[in-house]
């Protein structure tokens, strides 16, 4: 049964990225958010599913690009057609969120809370996720602050950005909120270990809550060209194509959040992973003999800590360690885990060789 949030809220799900570090499974026409990893539901379907009971489908907007839009519409038949925001061109997250804020303000008003979620993350405890997002919405509504969901770190992760947090400011929705002292780029292992051991740091999840008025004010302060285009778009929605180039092409983290005083966060522990690369699979897949293997069947001898995605075949591992093996109908990738963040180099090579069909 549907039980709405305690404050008026709409959700913008950002589904415009390609997830290039999940190549060759993730492609231009089948991006990461449209693939399934651990269940029959795809990542974007799971993202929408976990909002059930918090907001109705008509309060969910999906922002995506032209190439991906048909597949995403097909996967989300419960979302009204007018709720798909198809961007003229990808220009990072700040323009996408600005357009979402215009749409939510037009439909529900400036005091409405806008939650922003990536389409391709995994969450294990969905009940706690909904409670956390509801608490963040309440904090955003009552304080007019920009709120980001922080994740209590469980290991010295070098693939995430971090938040340095101050003392507790208060409770909303039964959960503690802190002021964000600083946004920190992805650290090296020694620094990440220091953060974990000393406390006072959270992973930056890239999930946000704010009122439409609050984010408009932040754009006016920090991205004035985008703010001016937003104001014009509010009254002339048919001018999106013309105005889009005036939306500054930057991330909301860099363009707005890192420059804004008074950002709030809450430490959450709902089993989150951004599954940003194949090396994140151990966070979400149970380990078996030979490593973390998604396959029809597998056998392993003298092989350890391999990451394998070969769902239709028997996988046999013999004397190999810390490999990534991904099999698709037209591509077989074998990589060292140390090179997991460098898959983009292969894509660049394919582009230079005019092998676009593999992208």
Ordered mean pLDDT values, 10 residues apiece, the chain (359 residues): 66 89 88 84 95 96 93 96 95 96 96 96 94 96 96 89 93 95 92 92 96 97 97 94 95 94 94 88 88 92 95 94 95 93 92 93
pLDDT of the residue at 83:
97
* pLDDT score at 242: 94
Residue 216 sits in the same domain as residue 284: no
Half-sphere exposure of 52 (CA within 13 A, CB side): 9
- Is 1 a domain residue? no
Residues 196 and 328 in one domain: no
290 and 268 in one domain?
no
User: CA neighbours within 13 Å on the CB side: how many for 30?
Assistant: 11
**Within this chain, do residues 209 and 65 fall inside the same structural domain, yes or no?**
yes
- Domain containing 170 — which CATH number? 3.90.550.10
User: Both 262 and 286 in a single domain?
Assistant: no
Kindly state whether residue 3 falls inside one of the protein's structural domains. no
For residues 70 and 207, state if they share a domain: yes
pLDDT value for 276: 82
Two tokens, residue 296: 């029809």
Boundary-marking domain end, from 227, 249, 273: 273
User: What per-residue string of b and e applies to 287-297 under the rule 16 or more CB within 10 Å gives b?
Assistant: eeebbbbbbee
**69 domain-assigned:** yes
Structure tokens of 107?
């439909």
130 shares a domain with 59: yes
**Statement to judge: residues 217 and 70 lie in one domain:** yes
Residues 167 and 93 in one domain: yes
Domain assignment present for 267 = yes
| Closest by CA position to 293, among listed 38, 33, 41, 24 | 38
Q: Does residue 156 sit in the same domain as residue 54?
A: yes
Tokens describing residue 324: 């990534």
Is residue 4 included in any domain, yes or no? Answer: no
Q: Does residue 2 sit within a domain? A: no
pTM of the model: 0.91
Residue 56 makes CB contacts below 8 A (sequence gap 6+) with 2, 4
Q: Are residues 141 and 223 in the same domain?
A: yes
Q: Do 70 and 133 sit in the same domain of this protein?
A: yes
Assess if residue 62 is contained within a domain. Answer: yes
Query: Per DSSP, what are the bridge partners of residue 294?
Result: 309
pLDDT at 159: 84
Last residue of a domain, which of 273, 306, 338? 273
Q: How many domains does the chain have?
A: 2
31 inside domain: yes
Determine the structural domain holding residue 294 and report its residue range.
Answer: 278-358
H helices of the chain, in order, are: 43-49, 69-75, 93-108, 126-143, 189-198, 212-222, 224-235, 240-243, 252-255, 343-352
H or E segment to which residue 14 belongs:
strand 9-14
Among 273, 300, 319, where does a domain finish? 273
């Amino acid at each position: 049964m549907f039980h709405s949030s305690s404050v008026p809220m709409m959700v913008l799900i950002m589904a415009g990225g390609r997830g290039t570090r999940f190549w060759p499974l993730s492609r231009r026409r089948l991006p990461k958010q449209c693939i399934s990893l651990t269940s029959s539901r795809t990542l974007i379907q799971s993202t929408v599913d976990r909002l059930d009971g918090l907001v109705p489908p008509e309060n969910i907007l999906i922002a995506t690009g032209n190439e991906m839009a048909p597949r995403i519409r097909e996967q989300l038949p419960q979302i009204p057609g007018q709720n798909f925001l198809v961007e003229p061109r990808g220009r990072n997250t700040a323009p996408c969120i600005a357009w979402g804020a215009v749409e939510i303000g037009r439909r529900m008003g400036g005091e409405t809370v806008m939650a922003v979620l990536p389409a391709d993350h995994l969450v294990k405890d969905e009940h706690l996720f909904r409670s956390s997002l509801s608490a963040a919405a309440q904090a955003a509504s009552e304080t007019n602050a920009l709120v980001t969901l922080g994740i209590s770190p469980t290991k010295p992760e070098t693939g995430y950005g971090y938040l340095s947090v101050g003392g507790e400011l208060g409770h909303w929705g039964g959960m503690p909120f802190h002021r964000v002292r600083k946004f920190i780029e992805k650290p090296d292992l020694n620094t990440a270990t220091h953060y974990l051991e000393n406390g006072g740091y959270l992973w930056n999840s890239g999930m946000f809550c704010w009122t439409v008025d609050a984010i408009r004010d932040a754009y006016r302060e920090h991205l004035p060209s985008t703010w001016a285009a937003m104001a014009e778009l509010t009254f002339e929605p048919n001018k999106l194509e013309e105005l889009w180039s005036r939306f500054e092409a930057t991330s909301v983290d860099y363009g707005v959040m890192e420059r804004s005083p008074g950002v709030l966060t809450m430490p959450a522990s709902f089993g989150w992973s951004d599954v940003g690369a194949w090396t994140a699979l151990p966070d979400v897949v149970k380990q078996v003999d030979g490593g973390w293997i998604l396959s029809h069947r597998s056998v392993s001898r003298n092989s350890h800590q391999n990451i394998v995605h070969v769902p239709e075949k028997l996988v046999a591992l013999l004397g190999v360690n810390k490999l990534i093996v991904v099999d698709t109908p037209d591509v077989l990738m074998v990589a060292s885990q140390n090179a997991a963040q460098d898959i983009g180099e292969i894509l660049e090579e394919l582009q230079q060789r005019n092998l676009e069909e593999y992208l």
